[in-house]
Copies of this chain bind each other. A is one copy, B any other.
Amino acid sequence: MIVEKKVFELPAFKTANGASIADVRVGYETYGSLNADRSNAILITHFFSGTSHAAGKYRESDALPGYWDYLIGPGKPVDTNRYFVIASDTLVNLNARDPDVVTTGPASINPATGKPYGLSFPQVGIADFVAVQKALVESLGVNRLHAVMGPSMGGLQAYEWAASHPEMVGRLIAVISAAEADPWLIAWLDVWASPIRLDPHWRNGDYAPDAPPLAGLTQALKVVGLQANHWLWAEQTQGREFAVAGADPARDVNARYRIEATLESAASARAAVSDANHFLYLVKANQTFVAGGPGGVDRIRAPTLILYAPSDQVFAADWVLATAERIRSNGVAVETAAIGGILGHLDGVMSLAPHGGRISAFLARG
C-alpha cells in the first residue's frame, strides 16, 4: 500500500488557553475511501514519538511501513476496503526534522519574526491536538467518526475526542493509556525532559536549527526507549553481553554492555530527526492531560475497547483499568483485554496482532 502525505492548513488557531497561532500546518494521510453517507471514517492518533504514518509506505523503497501496518489495510482488522482511515501528525510533533513529517511547534518559523518560535510558542495540550484534528476531519467532510483509535499518547487523544466531542465519536479504542496522566507518569515525564534542559546547547530553548542540544535529546530518547520496554526484552534479547567482544566493562571503564549500546544507537537515530523543544512541549502536554478537563471522562458515551499491557512501565495497568472502571460506571459498554509480549508498553504498538479479531469485531458491532 503506497500512501501519500498531505498537508492540512489552518490560517488561524486558538489554543484552549486562549493563545493564537497563525499558519498551523499538520501532515496527514488517508487509507481507503469515504462512503456516500460519510459514516465510515476512523481516526488513528499517534503515540509520543509517532507520526501520521500508521500504515503503508510512502515509497516502494521505504525500509518499513507505518507502525500499525499489520492492523490497517485491505482485509486487515482495520479494513480499508470497508473504512476510510485518517491519521495526522499532531501539533508539536516530535519528529520535526523528518522530511515526511509536517507539524507546527517551537521549531517552526514564527511568521511575526521570521525566526523559530522556541519557547515563545504557546503551551499546547492534548485538547489542542484534538481541536486541530477536528478541523481536519471536518475539512474532509466527516462530521462523525466511526471510531477513534490510538496507542499511548494516541490513546490520550482518543479519550479526549470521546470526552470533548461525544456526539462525534462512534467507538473508542484506547491502547496502553489512561484517561488522565497519573502522578507517577507526571514524574517520569519530568525525568524524560531533564537531559535536554541540562545540555548547554539547549540555551533555554533558543538554539539555532544547526546547533541543537543533540546529546541531551539523545539521552532523553534513551530514557523513553528503555521505559517503554521491559526487562524480559532486556533479558531475552540483550543479556549481559559486552558491546564490543572482549571489552569487559568490569575491566575497562570506557567499555559498555550491549544493551547500553543498543539503546544509545536507537536513541541517536531518533534524535537526528527529532526536535528538543518539541520534546519538552510534548512532555508538558502529556503531564497536564485530563480527558475533557476535570470530570470530562464522565462525558464519554462511546462503546470503548481498552487494550493494556500488564507489565507496562509507562501507563501502569492499574491506572488503565481504573479508567475502564470509571467509564463503565457511567453505564457505557467497556471491553478490556490484556496484550501479551515481552516489550512492556511497546507491546501496545508492536504486539496487537493476536487482538486483530477483537478489534475488527468491535468496529463491526452496531
Contacts and interface: CB of A to CB of B under 8 A. Distances in A.
B287 A257 contact: yes
Interface string A308-341: 0000010010110000000000000000000000
Contact of A250 (B125, B222, B260, B313): B125
A23 interface: no
- Counted per complex, copies of this chain come to 2
Contact of A191 (B182, B226, B230): B226
B187 A263 contact: yes
A187 B284 contact: no
Interface string A247-259: 0111101001111
Contacts of A167: none
Contact of A253 (B200, B219, B263, B284): B284
Contact of A234 (B182, B199, B251, B263): B182
Given A253-B123, A288-B249, A259 B194 contact: no
Given A125-B250, A191-B222, A194-B219, A240 B200 contact: no
Nearest to A220: B194
A341 to B, nearest CB: 15
Contacts of A230: 184
Interface of A is mostly: helix
Nearest to A215: B198
Nearest to A218: B194
A216 interface: yes
Interface in A211-239: 215-216, 219, 222-223, 226, 230-231, 234-235, 238-239
Contacts of A256: 190
A11 interface: no
Contacts of A125: 250
A323 to B, nearest CB: 13
Contacts of A257: 183, 186-187, 287
A48 B84 CA distance: 55
Interface of A: 17, 119, 123, 125, 180-184, 186-188, 190-191, 194-195, 198-200, 215-216, 219, 222-223, 226, 230-231, 234-235, 238-240, 248-251, 253, 256-260, 263, 284, 287-288, 290, 313, 316, 318-319
8 contacts: A186-B260, A187-B234, A195-B195, A195-B198, A195-B219, A198-B215, A198-B216, A248-B288
Given A182-B235, A184-B235, A190-B222, 20 more contacts: A17-B250, A119-B253, A123-B253, A183-B239, A184-B234, A184-B259, A187-B238, A187-B259, A187-B263, A188-B226, A194-B195, A194-B219, A194-B222, A195-B195, A198-B215, A200-B200, A231-B316, A248-B288, A250-B288, A253-B284
